[in-house]
Amino acid sequence: MKLALFFIFLLLIQPNQLYISPKILFDDRTNNYIIEYEIPTKNAGLGGLTVDENNNVWFVEINKSKIGVLFNNFTIKEYQFKINRTAKSGIEYIAISQIKYDKLRNSLWFTWSPSDALIKFNLNSLNFEIYKIDEKDSGVFDVFIDGKGNIWATLLFSNKIIKLEPENNKIEKFLIPDPLGGPAILTEDKYGNIWVTLAYGRKLAKLNVEKLEANTSKGIDLFENFDFKNVFYSPVGIFYDNKRNLLWIADHGSSSIYSFNPFNLTWKQYLVYQSGDLYSLINYVKMDSKGRIWFASHIGNTVGFLNPEKGYVIEFKIPTFNSTTLWLEIDKNDNVWFTEFLGNKIGLIKSFGEKYEILSNINKININSGQTGEFEIEIEILIEKEINATLNYSSIYLTLKNKIEIIPEKGNILLKNGTKIKVKIKYYDLPQGNYVFLVVFKSPKMIISINIYLLVNPKGFEWFSIILAIVIPLMITIFIFIFLRKFFYKK
């Protein structure tokens, strides 16, 4: 299999450089949460970002054919490259350019879907090397560097994964064995397997690297989210959590983050706040050194983190309205960086070490379907500074709409460290199923919430129906087996 390869060398003697002042967002008191750095090029169309060995932040400017860097002294440089845009118009806003730092080669790799290309930027020579993919409108999307230094990339629309070994120019393609597919973001587990989200097929794919065969699907396994199939819409972001041996997945079709255990094949759902019925569209997830799962909320216009063990979520509102934040990265000091596509800014949440927690004495409730009743949970708030907030609830499950009620109702609450609030939750004739909802405390600058799991058991006659549905087919199968056995084994 061949991949056309050519090189472009650009002399960048005087790259653009600009000193910039940050716009700072303060919370209700004095603490600084988010800093925004405006990009000097207007309407740059910021894509993915990465952090190099020196904590410099690199990013792609999709509209301007540039990459830029925000140095750790808070100056910006931009580097222009020239390549014809040969793919269909608009593809760059779906297969959005991603960029990764390659420590082994002291280089950057980024995808360029407008030209069906992978591009390498050498940080020593400041030269670009362009690797042209031999498929038009492939939708080359994510790029990933594995533990051995191999370069992997997803072809969103061609439904393939490519692997590049740069030193010997060896290129291989692997076919996703799902007709919808749509390979999006890549990660690697500690065993050297490559995992990828299938944004259109609503699945995960695992590439067993030692078993792969080029131009086939051999060695690729698919994993479906059966537990949450009806609300698992468009998985995009993914990474492997070595501490917990879990995969974390962002659903860009809802307001959910999922964990997946690849050993026992179990899924767990965590919700992020959404306003009314409008999904927040969680696009990307990463983990910091403390084990917190950070995420970018596209429509929610927040960046926040999940504490998986305690089930609470802390979100910080981005000061720029409709910033279109999709991608984030965490540097070695636990600073969280993110790009704003429409906001035209780089955002920063400095290493967040403050104490903001929300705890509940009950996280899981069992009730029976068809009943009306109420239960009470006690919420404890542990925070360093007082916050004026409004109590609410949020869920992606439309079944819960008008079926549960939070008491006390929406209203202002002054949250202090150690504040304990008893919340009554009324429910009305809920159908059988498993649901998740959030108890939410919302302030002008941040959102604090906790996941509550609601398990609604079938009614008595529903249990009887379920048993009959299992037992009767089983009895018929046994009867047929006995009959056929006697028929074929007559003496």
Does residue 474 have a pLDDT over 70? Answer: no
The verdict on 262 and 129 lying in the same domain is yes
* Residue 15: pLDDT over 50: no
pLDDT score of 382 more than 60 = yes
Tens digits of residue pLDDT in 314-339: 999 999 999 999 999 999 999 999 99
372 in the same domain as 319:
no
- For the residues 401-428, what does the mean pLDDT come to? 85
Point out the least confidently predicted range of 172-176, 308-312, 419-423. Answer: 419-423
Write the CATH number for 89: 2.130.10.10
pLDDT reported for residue 53: 95
β-strand partners of 314: 305, 448
- For residue 470, being part of any structural domain is answered with no
Q: In this structure, are 362 and 259 located in the same domain?
A: no
My answer on whether 325 and 374 are in the same domain is no
Same domain, 385 and 449: yes
Residues 426 and 384 in one domain: yes
Beta bridge partners of 349: 34, 336
Q: Are residues 213 and 304 in the same domain?
A: yes
The three-state secondary structure class of 299 is coil
Which DSSP category does 115 fall into? G
Assign 356 a pLDDT band (cuts: 50, 70, 90).
confident
pLDDT tens by residue, 75-134: 899 999 999 999 999 999 999 999 999 999 999 999 999 999 999 999 999 999 999 999
Q: Tell me which of 304, 321, 353 is where a domain ends.
A: 353
Identify whether residues 156 and 209 lie together within a single domain: yes
Same domain, 384 and 337: no
pLDDT for position 73? 85
Question: How would residue 22 be classed by pLDDT, with cut points 50, 70 and 90?
Answer: low
Q: How many domains does the chain have?
A: 2
Output the pTM of the full model.
Answer: 0.88
Q: Is residue 479 part of a domain?
A: no
**329 and 426 both lie in a single domain:** no
Contact 360, 238 (CB under 8 A): no
- Cα 9 to chain centroid distance, Å, stands at 35
Q: Has residue 133 been placed in a domain?
A: yes
Residue 91: C-alpha distances to residues 85, 139, 155, 159 (Å): 10, 7, 12, 15
- For residue 262, being part of any structural domain is answered with yes
- 463 found inside a domain: no
Claim to verify: residue 388 and residue 287 sit in the same structural domain = no
pLDDT at 464: 52
Tokens of 318: 């981005």
Mean pLDDT, the chain, whole residue set: 88
Do 338 and 425 fall within a single domain? no
Question: Could you tell me the two tokens for 342?
Answer: 């429409």
Percent of the chain residues topping a pLDDT of 70: 86
Supply the range of the domain harboring residue 438. 358-457
Quick one: pLDDT at residue 19? 47
What's the CATH number where 399 sits? 2.60.40.10
